Structure 1
Amino acid sequence: MDSSSDGSMAAQSAPDQTEDDQAEPGPKGLFGRLFSAFSPAEAGGGALSPQDRAFAIAQSSLTLPGIANLRRLRVDDVAIPKVEIVAVPVDIGKEDLVAVFREHGFSRLPVYRETLDQPLGLVLLKDLALQHGFNGNGSFDLKTLLRPLLYAPPSMPIGVLLQKMQRERVHMALVIDEYGGVDGLVTIEDLIETVIGEIEDEHDEVEGPLWTLEKPGVYMAQSRTPLDEFEAEIGLRLRREEEDEEIDTLGGLVFLRTGRVPVRGEIVPHESGAEFEVIDADARKIKRLRVRLPGAVAAPVGGRALPAEQPLHSG
């Protein structure tokens, strides 16, 4: 797909991105060899039941990454939804484009004509800087900077898309629905993180303590907070059901209660009377939670209530 392509190619490209891509010729590369190393029996025996797939998503999002996720998870399990995609129109000016890159800290952005359902390609910050930065001269035309995008159906295994990204040297793909419209976006970093865990770069904020006491009975906690430690701190048992014994983190507990990754701002009630408010989350995992304990005031075990600004645990 070149810079002269129009949005109609999205609908044409989507049907070609099927699970048959596993049989495409050519060198497999590192990810291809890793993906092939797992036979269907080892990877779970073909298609998973909805319950098994939900459990696989929970494991990859909230606990352990692993190479088996290349077969277990689909593109729609890791893609960010359409409403969260940061993209720019093809007629955007240079200064406005620089402002978008600066505001969001991304290194590449999708480019569209009129609406996001008419994608044209990809613009890289590196290309913009090399051609129009460093006191560069000349008129600005975003079309001359466009690079091709990949398209993938929601049901494609993430291992197949990872091979395709490696082979075609494209690090971003749009998820296309059955009608040819854009449904989400996934990057090569999103896929690799399901195997090796979260990748932090210089733009990521440094994580603070596992939890802090905002005010009596209200905690701000990271989703990776160990359940047993947090239960000891608040003096309340949160594991209630037998299946809860398999979950080790606060985020995992909330995931089980909802059966999915809840969205930002969502409040998840707990049978103990506590409430979990999702403060930060993406399409794949919960990041931070606000925990409201039952009752107006709840002192930690041992009566060690501290001022709201003072962290209770440094992890």
Structure 2
Amino acid sequence: MSDDTPHSSRGSAPKSWLDRIAGMFNAEPQDVSELENVISEAANNLLIDEDTKGMLHGVLDVSKMRARDIMIPRSQMATLDIEQSITDILPILLENNHSRYPVVNEDKDHIEGILLVKDLLKFAFLPDAPQCHLRDIMRPAVIIPESKRVDALLKEFRQKRYHMAMVVDEYGGVSGLVTIEDILEQIVGEIEDEHDDAEDADIKKMASNIFQVSALTPLDEFNTHFGSHFNEEEADTIGGIVLHAFGHMPERGETIELDGLLFKVSKANSRRLLQLQVINGKAPVVSEPD
């Protein structure tokens, strides 16, 4: 009997832990909302950590998203003209540090292909490299509609081994692009590489009065750059100020005017703002550059 008693006490802890899990899933979730509650309860019961909770919620968010929800807008696309030589495109490559670029003919509605920067390596030591043309080395572009489900797109990215797709609207015009990294960031959060510079990435000038701004830009830095007077005791970042002003989690494309600046949500998910377009001088939103 004495041997049985300690054995039972030792077994009670794992049994209790298993009971907690079983209790959570005993009533099978009937919809996504209930499943999200199960995940939140698991985090509250310390069965999973906050990072895991965030990723699980991110997976559920992705299942509800369309390409239009996460794409990089056409105004922020760095493109190459098909008539440019390798020498001509080098400044663009150095400035943007992307691994892939859409190749266009005249404007962004005419996508001819995709340039992978690594494909230029074989021309690096050729004496006639500057005379090589993009049309000879670019790869086919993948075109998808704005309504494409993001989870289905991720599956295609993996199966067909491409990392970028051009997004078109119902009229066939290019509205943006999406990469596999854009999808993964919805699940695991912002992904930075060795080319990302926090200072340069916070505020990027797109045109004379149009700026791409990270929602995480420190408020004091934002005020200094734009000469604005947002209260630095109300929030640490410009995203916090904008979110408070909206009074709800805004969707991509929503706008609001604050302190003489027009803010347009460029990138967001159900949990946080990611990127803002800031228009100085109250210029109309429709005047985005190609």
Q: TM-score with structure 2 length normalisation?
A: 0.58
| Structure 1 residue 173 displacement after superposition | 0.7
| 1:187-198 correspondence to structure 2 within 5 Å | 187-198=179-190
8 Å contact from structure 1 (residues 220, 288) kept in 2? no
Counterpart for residue 218 of structure 1: 229
8 Å contact from structure 1 (residues 89, 111) kept in 2? yes
More displaced 10-residue stretch of structure 1: 250-259 or 176-185: 250-259
**Could you say what secondary structure the match of 1:68 adopts?**
helix
Counterpart for residue 168 of structure 1: 160
Overall identity of the aligned pairs, in %: 29
**Could you say what secondary structure the match of 2:185 adopts?**
helix
Counterpart for residue 283 of structure 1: 267
**1:131 partnered with 2:112:** no
| Structure 1 residue 255 displacement after superposition | 4.6
8 Å contact from structure 1 (residues 251, 287) kept in 2? no
Residue from 234, 257, 271 that aligns with 1:268: 257
**1:117 partnered with 2:130:** no
8 Å contact from structure 2 (residues 69, 267) kept in 1? yes
Question: Aligned AA for 2:123?
Answer: H
Task: Please report the RMSD computed on the Cα atoms of aligned residues, expressed in angstroms.
Answer: 3.8
Question: Aligned AA for 2:234?
Answer: E
Distance verdict in 2 for CA 1:169–1:210, change over 3 Å? same
8 Å contact from structure 1 (residues 81, 283) kept in 2? no
| Structure 1 residue 117 displacement after superposition | 2.0
| Structure 1 residue 140 displacement after superposition | 0.6
Larger helix proportion of the pair: 2
8 Å contact from structure 2 (residues 253, 264) kept in 1? no
| 1:1-315 correspondence to structure 2 within 5 Å | 42-43=31-32, 66-128=58-120, 130-134=121-125, 137-138=128-129, 139-206=131-198, 210-212=218-220, 218-219=229-230, 230-231=233-234, 249-256=240-247, 259-261=250-252, 268-269=257-258, 275=259, 277=261, 282-284=266-268, 285-287=273-275
**Could you say what secondary structure the match of 2:58 adopts?**
coil
The answer for unaligned runs of 5 or more in structure 1 is 1-38, 46-62, 222-229, 234-247, 270-274, 291-315
Distance verdict in 2 for CA 1:196–1:136, change over 3 Å? farther
Question: Aligned AA for 1:97?
Answer: I
For residues 254 and 279 of structure 1, what CA distance do their matches in structure 2 show?
11
CA distances 1:78-123 after superposition (whole Å, capped 9, x unpaired): 1122222221121111111111111222111001223322212100
**Could you say what secondary structure the match of 1:112 adopts?**
strand
Q: Which has the larger radius of gyration?
A: 2
Aligned pair count?
A: 205
Q: TM-score with structure 1 length normalisation?
A: 0.54
| Structure 1 residue 177 displacement after superposition | 1.6
Query: Structure 1 stretches (4+) deviating beyond 6 angstroms?
Result: 278-281
Distance verdict in 2 for CA 1:276–1:146, change over 3 Å? same
For residues 114 and 254 of structure 1, what CA distance do their matches in structure 2 show?
40
For residues 125 and 231 of structure 2, what CA distance do their matches in structure 1 show?
43
Distance verdict in 2 for CA 1:109–1:76, change over 3 Å? same
| Structure 1 residue 68 displacement after superposition | 0.7
| Structure 1 residue 69 displacement after superposition | 1.6
**Relative contact order, CA 8 A, sep 6+: which one is greater?**
1
| Structure 1 residue 154 displacement after superposition | 0.9
For residues 33 and 63 of structure 2, what CA distance do their matches in structure 1 show?
8
Counterpart for residue 311 of structure 1: none
| Structure 1 residue 253 displacement after superposition | 2.4
